[in-house]
Amino acid sequence: MAELKFDDLDKVFKGTTTKRYTVLTEAIAKGNPLSMQDGTNKKLTYADKTIEKLFKAGNIDKLKSDYGNKLPLFKSGSTDIKLNQIFKSPEFGGGSGSGGGAEETARNESAQCLYAALAWYVYGKKIPENKKVTKSDFTKAYAKCSTTETLESMLDLPEDWHQSSIWGANELYGRYNGNTYTFHRGSSYVDKIESAFKRINKVEKAFGNLNKWSPADIYMITEKGKTAIDNDISKATTLGDLNTRMIKYFNTGDVVGVSLKKIGTSTVKFSKNNVETNKIDVTYQSTQVVAESKKSLFESMDIYLVHNKGKIQFRSFGGSVLSGWQGEGKGTTANQGKISLGPLNFILKQNGVKPLPEDSATKASTPSNTYFTEFYNAAKFLNAKGLAKTQKAFEADWKVADKPWRYSKYLGILLAERFARLSVPKRHKLMTDIYLYSASKSNFAGPYAKIE
């Protein structure tokens, strides 16, 4: 996969009209060595004048048809060299694709480990701009990595991801080079951290998925950190306990999770998240039970909690299926994340508030008298528009409403009532916790660094 091919040479560099074969012709003209598949570096000359003329003319199709990989195109001293013996290093433009699929994601995240190891163990400094990284360099760095991808798969990075990985590695090296790390993606140590979370979350149901607790894509772990994972972190008993242990070793630099985004400039943004109590100021402002354009609570299945940074819409997103009730943050420019019923109930309980029922779907089909009383009294307490004057009349209106409305509005009304019964400081605190969770910055989440 990392061998150089004729098709690679005939491509142009991104954003230019320059073909990639020029890397070869310029290296030969200047007497610069090229990396070989066997890890060595060799200065090359053309095998004969005909080949030289074809290369200088950029006639790659003719070279491919006349020589292929069966005949040597170059020489290194007296040794014949075929094209596929040359290592397809990033300077040739790398592979294809923008890194959007699962395979590319795994490759790109693993590659960030590899490039960080280059800075730490091969160069002992930040990777110089325009550095020509040889296969031998990559091989040395790979010894300090434990990833889901093979070395060969990471050598075929597109040029933009190659550069992103250099900038990411340099940012991490500049901040953490005082520690000695191995770099992990999907290793046994990462599995131990994630298993501890999953074991606890299965009971506490605080997060809908692992990524909500920590979006770390890779981990930098010292030898002390490995011991901490085995003997301390993996033995946590509650989510709060796990976070306390993770924060401890994050702050000492022994277990550092890193969330990655593609980096497009040498000015890298770096942040630490969930390391201490978040200082984000979120204040509850109001509850919107019925939209201003609607005359009755029966005309919509959603409710909104309004705060100083936007609002969170709570409703069912399951269509005709009675499932998928959740909150979705709405900002001035974009959606701000989601929070499902399980995590919301965890946050309610953490704030001393009664959790919402988890059987709303059942009650939408087989309601009880207690259900109707609870639903009606909550809507009455909120002074909801279009609410009947008696519970009996409300039940009649309810019976002609569709089941998705019954399922969704019931939960929304109860949530709105719980907010309305809280003191102002407690409303702000609960609103902050819900907002931070939906924005993946929860006070209950694990620590991680982010580079982008």
Residues 6+ positions from 408 with CB-CB distance below 8 Å: 301, 302, 315, 316, 325, 360
Same domain, 333 and 391: yes
pLDDT higher than 70, residue 333: no
- Pick from 442, 424, 426: nearest CA to 434: 442
Query: What pLDDT does 98 receive?
Result: 43
Same domain, 193 and 112: yes
* Res. 424: pLDDT tops 90: yes
For all residues of the chain together, what is the average pLDDT?
90
Residue 219: its pLDDT value, please? 98
Residue range of the domain that includes 73:
6-88
User: Residue 275 domain-assigned?
Assistant: no
Q: Is residue 348 part of a domain?
A: yes
Choose the final residue of a domain: 42, 57, 88: 88
Task: Please check whether residues 76 and 194 belong to one and the same domain.
Answer: no
106 and 18 fall within a common domain? no
The most confident of the ranges 63-67, 277-281, 329-333 is 63-67
Judge if 46 and 151 occupy the same domain: no
pLDDT in tens, 190-247: 999 999 999 999 998 888 789 889 999 999 999 999 999 999 999 999 998 999 999 9
Residue 443: inside a domain: no
CA dist 218 and 317 (Å) reads 32
Place of tokens 């809908």: 208
Q: Is the pLDDT of residue 130 over 90?
A: no
Over residues 324-340, the mean pLDDT reads 77
In this predicted structure, the answer to whether residue 19 has a pLDDT above a threshold of 90 is: no
**Which of the four pLDDT bands, split at 50, 70 and 90, describes residue 99?**
very low
CA dihedral 294→298→299→302, nearest 10 degrees, is 90
- Of the residues 237, 268, 299, which one is the last residue of a structural domain? 268
Range 68-79 average pLDDT: 91
Contact indicator for 63, 54 with CB cutoff of 8 Å = yes
Task: Please check whether residues 297 and 409 belong to one and the same domain.
Answer: yes
For the chain, the domain total comes to 3
* Whether residue 133 sits in one domain with residue 51: no
Residue 256 falls within a domain, yes or no?
yes
Percent share of the chain, pLDDT over 70: 94
Question: Which one is predicted more confidently, 17 or 236?
Answer: 236
Q: What is the DSSP string of 264-324?
A: -SSS--EEEESSS-------EEEEESS-TT-SSGGG-S-EEEEETTEEEEEEE-STTSS--
pTM more than 0.85: no
Q: What was the pLDDT predicted at 129?
A: 82
Q: Are residues 219 and 329 in the same domain?
A: no
Residue 147: pLDDT band (50, 70, 90) is very high
Mean pLDDT of 253-266: 95
pLDDT classification of 331: cutoffs 50, 70, 90: low
